[in-house]
């Protein structure tokens, strides 16, 4: 039996784009201003950056703006650390097939306000095939839980925001 040791976070999977329908639904609630991990071809917001770790919260106004992040798999740990250190509030999407990894245990679960597990799998854009082999989660930071999606939300400390 092959185990899941987190080695799926490879550069060949970095270009999985957020499905537009999902972003539109979330954007209607959160009014995202800044796409943390984007390029000119896949940006979802008016403001975006292709090297997020070089952006400080003062220069981009990230303390006030609601941010969106779909990090490249190969740089996920660095991106999540910077997200929680830099932005004031926002929502991320990430794979959740391996919650015992250091990324989930030491960074995401310790900093997120909530984690939402959608019912069913998210079919990302930008890759050919039948869709994702792994489940995804939405991760909220200082924002209310998402509306209009079927799934389960876990709150940090067991409390609703």
Q: Rounded distance, CA 85 to CA 67, Å?
A: 13
- Residue 51 belongs to a domain: yes
Q: What is the mean pLDDT of residues 70-80?
A: 91
Average pLDDT, the chain: 84
CA torsion 109→89→152→103, rounded to 10°? -30
Residue 2, domain member (yes or no)? no
Identify whether 54 is part of a domain.
yes
Domain CATH code at residue 63: 3.40.50
From CA 19, how far away is CA 121, in angstroms rounded?
12
Q: Lowest mean pLDDT: which of 4-13, 42-51, 93-102, 146-155? A: 4-13
* Six token digits for residue 10: 């490879």
Q: Is residue 7, in this structure, part of any structural domain at all?
A: no
Closest CA to 34 of 19, 16, 55, 6: 55
- What is the count of structural domains for the chain? 1
Supply the pLDDT for residue 1: 34
In-domain check, residue 63: yes
pTM of this structure: 0.85
Does the pLDDT value for residue 130 go beyond 80?
A: no
Residue span of the structural domain in which 91 resides = 12-158
Residue 49 lies in a domain: yes
Query: For residue 97, what pLDDT is reported?
Result: 83
**Where residue 129 falls among pLDDT bands split at 50, 70, 90?**
low
Residue 4 lies in a domain: no
Q: Is residue 21 part of a domain?
A: yes
């Amino acid at each position: 039996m092959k185990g899941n040791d987190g080695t799926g976070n490879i550069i060949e999977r970095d270009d999985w784009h957020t499905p537009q329908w999902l972003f539109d639904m979330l954007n209607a609630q959160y009014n995202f201003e800044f796409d943390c991990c984007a390029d000119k071809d896949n940006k979802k917001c008016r403001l975006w950056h292709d090297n997020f770790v070089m952006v400080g919260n003062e220069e981009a106004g990230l303390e006030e703006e609601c941010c969106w992040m779909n990090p490249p798999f190969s740089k996920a740990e660095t991106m999540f650390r910077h997200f929680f250190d830099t932005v004031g509030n926002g929502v991320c999407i990430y794979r959740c097939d391996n919650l015992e990894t250091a990324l989930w245990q030491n960074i995401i679960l310790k900093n997120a306000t909530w984690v939402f597990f959608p019912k069913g799998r998210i079919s990302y854009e930008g890759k050919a095939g039948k869709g994702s082999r792994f489940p995804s989660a939405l991760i909220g930071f200082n924002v209310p839980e998402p509306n209009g999606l079927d799934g389960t939300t876990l709150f940090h400390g067991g409390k609703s925001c």
